[in-house]
Amino acid sequence: MTKVQLEYKLVRPITDADTKAISDVHGCYGFYLVKLAPTLDKITVECDASRLSEKDVEATLVHLGVPIERKWVVP
């Protein structure tokens, strides 16, 4: 197991629906910790790098509706 910590900027202020999406991430395979920065403009994710790539993490966050700024663009 290799734990990594990734940080993503949020593209807009957090809403109630976003907090639900963030809490849903905790139930996803390979994720250990998801937390908002005190400034509410970033999110930090700790996950198992042997199970998830950075692209997988981003895809999961976007799929669940977390408003992150994407690093990977899929054509």
Q: What is the pLDDT along the chain (75 residues), one digit of tens a residue?
A: 789 999 999 999 999 888 899 999 989 999 999 999 999 999 999 999 999 999 999 999 999 999 998 876 655
pLDDT at 50: 93
User: How far is Cα 3 from Cα 20, in angstroms, rounded to an integer?
Assistant: 24
User: How far is Cα 28 from Cα 64, in angstroms, rounded to an integer?
Assistant: 10
What domains are there in the chain, each with its CATH number?
Answer: 3-64 (3.30.70.100)
pLDDT at 72: 62
Of the candidates 34, 71, 50, 36, the residue with the CA atom closest to the CA atom of residue 2: 50
pLDDT at 61: 95
Residue 69, phi then psi, degrees to nearest 5? -85, 120
